Chain A
Amino acid sequence: MCVVETLLIVDDEEHQRLLYQEELSEEGYQVILAGNGKEALERLSESVPDLIVLDIRMPIMNGLEALGKIIGKEKGIPVIIHSAYSSYKDDFMSWAADDFVVKSSDLTELKRKIRELLDKKKAER
C-alpha cells in the first residue's frame, strides 16, 4: 500500500506558496499551506503532516516562534527551515529544526532534503 505523504508548507508570500504547492504535488506529496506561524499551528491542530517546511520572516507569528511551539506540541515531525537569510543559522532556536535550506528559485535542494528526512524518519520507525 502506498500512503501519500503530507507536507505543511509555511510561507507568507502567496505566489511562493503556490509555486511550492505545484512543484511538490508533482513529486507526489499532498501539500497543506499556511501563511504564517499562527496559521501553521492551526493547521497542525487539524491534522499532523509528515514534514514541515517553515519560513522565518513572516507577519503575526514568525517561524522561530512557531518552531518552539511546534516542538512543544508535536514531537517527532521533521522541520526544514526555508529562509532567504542564512544568518538565521546563528539563532539558537533555528537549531531546533532538522535542517536549514536557504531559499532559491531552484527547489532541487529543498526537494532532496525533504526526501532525505522523510526516508530517515521511516527508517527510524
Chain B
Amino acid sequence: MNKILAFILAGGKGERLYPLTRDRTKPAVPFAAIYRIIDFTLSNCINSNLRKIYVLSQYKSLSLSRHIQLGWNILSSTLGEFITVVPAQQRINEQWYRGTADAIYQNIYLLQKELPELLLILSGDHVYKMDYREMIKFHLDKHADVTVAAVEMDKKLSPEFGVIEIDSESSIVGFQEKPTEPKTLVRSPDKILASMGIYIFNTEIVVRKLIEDAKRDTAHDFGKNIVPEMVGKHQVYAYLFKNERGEPHYWRDVGTIEAYFESNIDLVSESPLLDLYDPEWPIHTYHPPLPPAKTISDGRGVHNSGAVMEAILSGGCVISGGEVKRSLLSPNVRIEKSAVVEDSIVLEGARVKENAHIKRTIIDKESEVPAGMYIGYDHRADAKNFTVTESGIVVISKGFRAR
C-alpha cells in the first residue's frame, strides 16, 4: 500500500444547523443517538486501513477534541499510527483558515514530516460509509494527479453543491460551484454529479498548487480554485461513489436542521438507508460505561405506559412510565411518567418530565422539558422559547431549563 496521509477538515461552522452548532463545530454534532458526525469519516479511515490521520480543527473545537481524545485513542503510536487533532496555529499566516486549501497549506509542515506519496483530503461534515481503498485504487489505475469523489443526486439540490461534469472516461471536464442551472448527467437529465469534498492528490502536485494558490488572491478552496484550475492541464478524475448496480451510495451533508432531522428519523425505520448494523463496517465512537437501557410501566395500567415503538435507545436511558414513538434517544435520557415523545431526537442526558408531550422536536444535550409542557403542537407558542424551522421542527438548545 502506498504511503497515504489523511487530513480531515473539521472546522465547519455548520451555521444552518444552529442551534445544534451553537457550542460545537459541525463534525462534533451528535448523530444516530450515540455517534458524532465525524465518527463516520474516522471509521471510514480505520475500516479502509488508513492510520495516519490529522484532524484539522478551528471553530469551537473543544467538544470535538474531547470526543476524539476519549473515543479515538485506539491506534498504536509505536507503529507510527495516529489520529491527531491539530488546532489552527496561525503558524504561516496570522489568520484563520481562509478556505479548505489554506487549511492544508498552513499545515504543510505536517506533510513535510510524513512525506506521503498520496494525500487524502476529507471533510468531517458528512455521513456515509466509504472504502477509501477503492478510490485510491481508481486514482492509481488512472494515473491521476487528483481524483475527486462524486455522488449522483437530484438536480434540484445543485445550489448546495459543487457540480462536476465528466467525460466517458470519468475525466473531469468542468466544474460549477453551487449552480442554479447545473450540467446534468447525459443519461438522466434530472440528476447531477455532486462533489463530496473528498480529494486524493499526489503530494508533490498538491504542494506546488497550494503554494501557487497562497501567492494569489483566491478563495483558497479546493473545490472553487485548486481543482477547477487543474482541469485541462492535469489528469483530473472523478471517482463515482456508487454500488455494482450503478446506484449512488448513501451520502448526506446533513447541513440543515431539516436534513439532520430526516436522516436521523430514517434510522428508526425497518430498513434505513444507512445501515448501522453491518459487522463488516463498524462505526466507532466514544461510549461511556453505562448501564443498559430500561423501560418501566408506571404500574397503574395506563395505556402504553413504558411503551417504546420504532425507536433507537441508548445505554443509560430510562423510560419510567412514558411513551416513545419513532424517536432516537441518546445515552442517559430520562422519559418520565405519562410523558409522550414522538418523531423526536433526544440527545444525551436530556430529561422529559412528567406528562410533557414532545413531537417533531430535537432536544439538545442536558436539557429539561418541564412537566406538562407541550412542544411541537403549536409552532407560534414554541417559537417564543425555541428555534422552529420553516417545516416546523423545533430545536431546544443545549442545557435548556425552564426558569
Contacts and interface: CB of A to CB of B under 8 A. Distances in A.
Interface stretch (B190-198, B210-218, B259-267): B210-218
A72 B112 contact: no
- Of A71, A76, A92, chain B has the most CB atoms within 10 Å of the CB of A92
B396 to A, nearest CB: 43
B215 A96 contact: yes
A96 B112 contact: no
Interface in A55-113: 65, 68-69, 71-72, 75-76, 91-93, 95-96
A95 B207 contact: yes
A13 B348 CA distance: 61
Contacts of A75: 215-217
Contacts of A71: 211, 214-215
Contacts of B269: none
Contacts of A92: 108-109, 111-112, 207, 211
Interface in B213-228: 214-217
B205 to A, nearest CB: 11
Contact-residue size bin, chain B (C-beta under 8 Å from the other chain): 10 to 19
A96 B211 contact: yes
Nearest to B217: A75
Given A71-B214, A76-B215, A96-B214, A91 B92 contact: no
A69 B215 CA distance: 11
A72 B92 contact: yes
Contact of A72 (B93, B111, B207): B93
B208 interface: yes
Contacts of A95: 207-208, 211
Contacts of B207: 92, 95
Nearest to A95: B211
Nearest to A76: B215
B311 to A, nearest CB: 51
B123 to A, nearest CB: 23
A93 B216 contact: no
Given A75-B217, A95-B208, A69 B93 contact: yes
A33 B94 CA distance: 24
B226 to A, nearest CB: 15
Interface in B80-98: 91-95
A65 B108 CA distance: 12
A71 B93 CA distance: 9
Contacts of A72: 92-95, 214
Nearest to A67: B92
B89 to A, nearest CB: 12
A76 B95 CA distance: 19
B209 to A, nearest CB: 11
Nearest to B207: A92
Contacts of B216: 75
Contacts of B211: 71, 92, 95-96
B92 A68 contact: yes
A91 B112 contact: yes
A71 B106 CA distance: 12
Contacts of B95: 72
A69 B92 contact: yes
**Chain A CB within 10 Å, residue with most, of B95, B109, B111, B217:** B109
A75 B213 CA distance: 11
B115 to A, nearest CB: 9
A33 B208 CA distance: 29
Contacts of A91: 112
Nearest to B108: A92
Interface of A: 65, 68-69, 71-72, 75-76, 91-93, 95-96
Interface of B: 91-95, 108-109, 111-112, 207-208, 211, 214-217
- In the A-B complex, list the 3 residue pairs whose CB atoms are closest, starting with the nearest: A68-B92, A72-B93, A96-B211
22 contacts: A65-B92, A68-B92, A68-B93, A69-B92, A69-B93, A71-B211, A71-B215, A72-B95, A75-B216, A75-B217, A76-B215, A91-B112, A92-B108, A92-B111, A92-B112, A92-B207, A93-B109, A93-B112, A95-B207, A95-B208, A96-B211, A96-B214
Given A69-B94, A92-B111, 20 more contacts: A68-B92, A68-B93, A69-B92, A71-B211, A71-B214, A72-B92, A72-B214, A75-B215, A75-B216, A76-B215, A92-B112, A92-B207, A93-B108, A93-B109, A93-B112, A95-B207, A95-B208, A95-B211, A96-B214, A96-B215
